[in-house]
């Protein structure tokens, strides 16, 4: 692996940006370009990208269709998403509304997942006249003032102050806590009983917000049907269900286009939020909600840049590409093979506690074999070793960050999956 000559950019980064702006790797990488599932750093090293630029590069790096749409739109007009009619925004909203599964859906675009969740919270609290929110333990929904206050893992909260009153519900994590080891059915019963109990001694919350598969929390998923079972209880109290699809949307989980569909028996969520991959790297977030909920605000607009024509052009081109090339099917097929391969590798490595995942959202949970406790040091060592081998992966799983996160662009090929698994095997065995 070639190192950059003098990594003075790192020194300058340190001098001018906040101390808490964390970077991966002992010697951070400057990514200069990408193509397909690969990126290159400033020293000319090529990496297979198993983290998709933190899930933002959903289809592929430098996808010609997206690049063309962005440059053509930038050549026409960049500004003005609000106050004037905006054709790409209307077209993308129509397509997302139709795909969302929410009847009579309205779409509002933001620039990030945080802002999308913030808007969803504003809608739910306004609609219900309550600032109480149900959220899941170990969840992550962003780091703005409102979204940190519904983020279950307090280790991710840069401040301890909360504008919302939040109650945390069991269910996001399967293999820790009081319900570990239960069958799917018993686990769901236990979580529903916990929710019922919580609602027995509180005033009425506005909404439950949940990630169908917890992303930053370490790619943990409840059994299918948990949120359908919750929905029955929520409906009795008139509480809204917000599905945070920032990581699970657009087919990443393979079996479903949205994560909520694994829990859809009792209908779709009332509000859905999305972000990350839809712009294939351009900053798009958004909220889809039933019209009566979306229209409950007394506002004219709440974002200047949300829906900007260039990002919308990227979103339209990207969405067309992923539907036409059935990347959801690819996530299911290639992701299925990759999970199997990683399970086989994990079976021979003592520090691997569990390999889990859906589609191309795969987590490898690491422990210290002697104690069975979380192993953040091992996770960091594997991350470094994988980079040495030419593979980028992510970390997660709360403040113990003991879970390796794998979320490549959805166009990953079988050969690339095998190549990445081989590098990971070496990294895991050496760590």
Residues that bind ligand PMP (CB under 6 A): 112-114, 117, 140-142, 211, 215-216, 244, 246-247, 275, 285
**Residue 240 beta carbon to ligand PMP: minimum distance, rounded to whole angstroms:** 17
Rounded distance, CA 240 to CA 206, Å?
A: 6
Residue 186: both structure tokens together: 């018993």
State the Cα–Cα distance between residues 27 and 10, nearest whole angstrom: 8
* DSSP class per residue in 37-65: TEEEETT--EEEESSHHHHT--S-BT-HH
CB of 414 to ligand PMP, least distance (A): 27
CB of 298 to ligand PMP, least distance (A): 25
The sign of the CA dihedral 231, 270, 216, 18 is negative
d(CA 88, CA 149): 34
> CB-wise, 259 or 420, nearer to ligand PMP?
259
Cβ proximity to ligand PMP: between 86 and 248 the closer is: 248
User: How far is CA 170 from each of CA 86, 160, 198, 206, 396, rounded to the nearest angstrom?
Assistant: 42, 21, 10, 18, 19
Tell me the backbone φ, ψ of residue 395, rounded to 5 degrees.
Answer: -125, 160
Spatial contact of 121 and 302, defined as CB atoms under 8 Å apart: no
The residues, any chain, with a CB within 8 Å of residue 156's CB and separated by 6 or more, are 140, 143, 148, 216, 398, 399
Q: Which is nearer to ligand PMP, 211 or 270 (CB)?
A: 211
**Nearer to ligand PMP (CB atom), residue 289 or residue 421:** 289
3-state secondary structure of 191: helix
Cβ of residue 273: shortest distance to ligand PMP, in angstroms? 7
Shortest distance in whole angstroms from residue 84 CB to ligand PMP = 26
The CB-of-243 to ligand PMP minimum distance in angstroms stands at 10
216 vs 294, which CB is nearer to ligand PMP?
Answer: 216
Nearer to ligand PMP by Cβ, of 120 and 427: the residue is: 120
CA distance 282 to 109: 13
Nearer to ligand PMP, 275 or 403 (CB): 275
Name the CA radius of gyration of the chain, rounded: 21
Nearest approach, Cβ of 215 to ligand PMP (angstroms)? Answer: 4
Nearer to ligand PMP, 114 or 411 (CB): 114
- Alpha-carbon gap, residue 5 to 23, rounded angstroms: 19
Q: Which residue number is nearest to ligand PMP in terms of Cβ? A: 113
Nearer to ligand PMP, 112 or 402 (CB): 112
CB of 166 to ligand PMP, least distance (A): 15
**Of 192, 195, 189, 120, nearest to 150 (Cα)?**
120
Q: What is the dihedral of CA 33, 253, 136, 195, to 10 degrees?
A: 170
Tell me how far, at minimum, the Cβ of 157 lies from ligand PMP, in Å.
13
In the complex, minimum distance from the CB of residue 244 to ligand PMP, in angstroms, rounded to a whole number: 5
Report helix, strand or coil for 364. strand
* Three-class HEC string of 51-108: CHHHHCCCCCECCHHHHHHHHHHHHHCCCCCCCCCCHHHHHHHHHHHHHHCCCCEEEE
Of 73 and 151, nearer to ligand PMP (C-beta) is: 151
Using alpha carbons, select from 107, 65, 101, 67 the residue that is nearest to residue 89: 107
CB of 380 to ligand PMP, least distance (A): 19
What b/e string do you get for 128-167 counting C-beta neighbours within 10 Å, with b at 16 or more? bebbbbbbbbbbbbbeeebbbbbbbbeebeeeeebebebe
Closer residue to ligand PMP, CB minimum distance, 215 or 397:
215
């Amino acid at each position: 692996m070639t190192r950059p000559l003098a990594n003075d950019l790192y020194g300058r980064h340190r001098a001018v940006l906040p101390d808490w702006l964390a970077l991966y790797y002992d010697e951070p990488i400057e990514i200069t370009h990408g193509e397909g599932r690969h990126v290159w750093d400033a020293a000319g090293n090529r990496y297979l990208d198993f983290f998709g630029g933190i899930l933002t590069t959903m289809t592929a790096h430098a996808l010609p269709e997206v690049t063309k749409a962005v440059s053509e739109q930038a050549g026409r007009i960049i500004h003005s998403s609000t106050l004037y009619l905006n054709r790409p925004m209307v077209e993308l909203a129509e397509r997302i509304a139709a795909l969302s599964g929410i009847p009579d859906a309205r779409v509002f675009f933001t620039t990030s997942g945080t802002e999308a969740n913030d808007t969803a919270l504003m809608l739910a609290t306004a609609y219900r006249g309550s600032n109480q929110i149900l959220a899941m333990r170990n969840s992550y929904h962003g780091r703005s003032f409102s979204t940190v206050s519904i983020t279950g893992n307090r280790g991710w909260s840069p401040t301890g102050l909360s504008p919302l009153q939040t109650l945390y519900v069991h269910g996001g994590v399967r293999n820790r806590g009081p319900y570990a080891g239960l069958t799917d059915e018993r686990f769901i019963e236990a979580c529903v009983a916990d929710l019922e109990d919580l609602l027995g001694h509180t005033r009425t919350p506005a909404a439950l917000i949940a990630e169908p598969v917890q992303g930053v929390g370490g790619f943990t998923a409840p059994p299918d049907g948990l949120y359908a079972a919750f929905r029955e209880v929520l409906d009795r109290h008139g509480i809204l269900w917000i599905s945070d699809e920032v990581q699970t949307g657009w087919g990443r989980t393979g079996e479903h286009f949205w994560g909520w569909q694994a829990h859809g028996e009792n209908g779709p969520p009332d509000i859905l939020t999305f972000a990350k991959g839809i712009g294939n790297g351009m900053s798009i977030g958004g909220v889809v909600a039933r019209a009566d909920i979306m229209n409950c605000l007394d506002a004219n607009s709440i974002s200047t840049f949300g829906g900007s024509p260039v990002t919308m052009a990227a979103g339209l081109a990207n969405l067309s590409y992923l539907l036409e090339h059935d990347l959801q099917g690819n996530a299911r097929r290639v992701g299925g093979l990759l999970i199997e391969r990683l399970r086989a590798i994990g079976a021979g490595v003592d520090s691997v506690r569990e390999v889990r995942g859906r589609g191309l959202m795969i987590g490898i949970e690491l422990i210290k074999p002697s104690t069975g406790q979380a192993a953040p040091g091992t996770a960091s060592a594997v991350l470094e070793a994988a980079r040495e081998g030419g593979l980028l992966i992510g970390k997660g799983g709360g403040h113990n960050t003991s879970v390796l996160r794998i979320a490549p662009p959805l166009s990953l090929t079988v050969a690339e999956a095998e190549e990445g698994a081989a590098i990971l095997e070496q990294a895991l065995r050496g760590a």
